[in-house]
Amino acid sequence: MLKEKLIKPISGFIMILFLAVLVAATIYLAANEIFPPQFLVISGVLFFFLVPGFKIVNPNEAIALIFFGKYVGTIKENGFFWVNPFYISKKLSLRARNLNGEKLKVNDGVGNPIEIAAVIVWKVSDTFKALYEVDDYVNFVRIQSEAAIRVLANKYPYDQFEDENADLTLLSGAEKVNEELEKALHDRLESAGIVIIEARISHLAYAQEIAGAMLQRQQAIAIVAARKKIVEGAVGMVDLALTKLQEGKIVDFDEHSKAAMVSNLMVVLCSDRSAHPVINAGTLNH
C-alpha cells in the first residue's frame, strides 16, 4: 500500500528569475531581429506553459501532486515553489478541526435509551491516505465517529443505579470513557490518515421518554440516603443527651419516661419541619 511521500520542489523564485531572463532575451532578440518570428512563438508558448507550475503552500497546508494518475508526492514545506505544470495538485488543510457531534439516541449497556454526543478534535496526518484511501475524509470522520460513540454507549450502563456491580459507567467514569473513545476513533480513522487529538463526551442524559421516571428514582434514592444519615445522627444525639442527663443526675428516668424522651427527641430530630414546643404546666408525667 502506498504511503505519503514528501518532496521538495524547485523554489518558485528561481523559476521567476528564469522566466524574467527568458522574456528579456526574447525582447532583445526580437528587437534586433537576430532570430526569426517563430522564436517569439516558441518563447511565448514556453512562458505560458511554465507559469501554471507555480504553487504557494501556506502554514499548516499541504499540496498532493498527481502525474497522469500516479501519486508523485506531497509538499508540506511552507513557501513558494514551482512544479511540473502537468502535475494535478490537491490542497489539504493540516490544521486541527472540531467535530461537534449531534445528539445520538442509543441504548446503554443495560438497554435504557440515552442521549449522547461528543466533541472530537482531529487533523490530517497522512495526506495520501486522506485523499486516496477514502472517498471523502471529512464525511468519513463524521460517520466513523458516530459509530464509535454508539458502540461505546452500548458497552457500559449509564450509571450504577442500573448496574450496581458495574466497574465503569458512562456517567462516573468520564476520563476512562473518553480515553476509550479516543482509542476507538484512532483505530477507525488510522486508515484515512487522521490523527485524533482529543475526544470528549459533551452531552449525556436519559432519553426524554424515561428521563422523568429516572429523575424520580434518583430523587427517591437521594431522599433515602439523606434520611439514613439523619437517623444515624439522631440516634447518636439521643444517646448523648440521655447519657449527659444521667451523668449530671439532672433527671432520674424510669423505663417509661426514658422511652417517652427517646420518642420525642427522635420525632424532633428526624422531622422535616421545625418542632413546635408544648409547655407542660403539670407534673413531669402529665
User: H or E segment at 110?
Assistant: none
Q: What is the pLDDT of residues 113-136, one digit of tens each?
A: 888 999 999 999 999 999 999 999
Residue 248's pLDDT is 67
Residue 124's pLDDT is 94
| Contact call for residues 128 and 62 (beta carbons, < 8 A) | no
Question: pTM of this prediction?
Answer: 0.69
Q: Where are the domains of the chain?
A: 10-93, 97-206, 212-270
Residue 253's pLDDT is 67
- The mean predicted confidence, pLDDT, of the chain is 82
Q: What is the pLDDT of residues 188-213, one digit of tens each?
A: 999 999 999 999 998 888 877 665 66
Residue 238's pLDDT is 74
pLDDT-derived band at 278, boundaries 50, 70, 90: low
Q: What Cα–Cα distance (Å) separates residue 96 from each residue in 74, 90, 117?
A: 19, 19, 20
Contacts of 254 (CB under 8 A, 6+ apart): none
Residue 3's pLDDT is 81
**In this structure, which topology does domain 97-206 adopt according to CATH?**
Tetrahydropterin Synthase; Chain A (3.30.479)
pLDDT above 70 as % of the chain: 78
3-state secondary structure 151-182: HHHHHCCCCCCCCCCCCCCCCCCHHHHHHHHH
Residue 50's pLDDT is 87
pLDDT-derived band at 283, boundaries 50, 70, 90: low
Strand partners, 262: none
Q: Give the residue-averaged pLDDT of 52-65.
A: 93
Residue 57's pLDDT is 93
Q: What is the pLDDT of residues 167-184, one digit of tens each?
A: 778 877 778 889 999 999
Q: Give the residue-averaged pLDDT of 65-83.
A: 93
Q: Give the residue-averaged pLDDT of 131-149.
A: 93
Distance CA 62, CA 58 (A): 8
Q: What is the pLDDT of residues 261-271, one digit of tens each?
A: 777 677 666 66
Res 146 pLDDT > 70: yes
Q: Give the residue-averaged pLDDT of 65-78.
A: 92
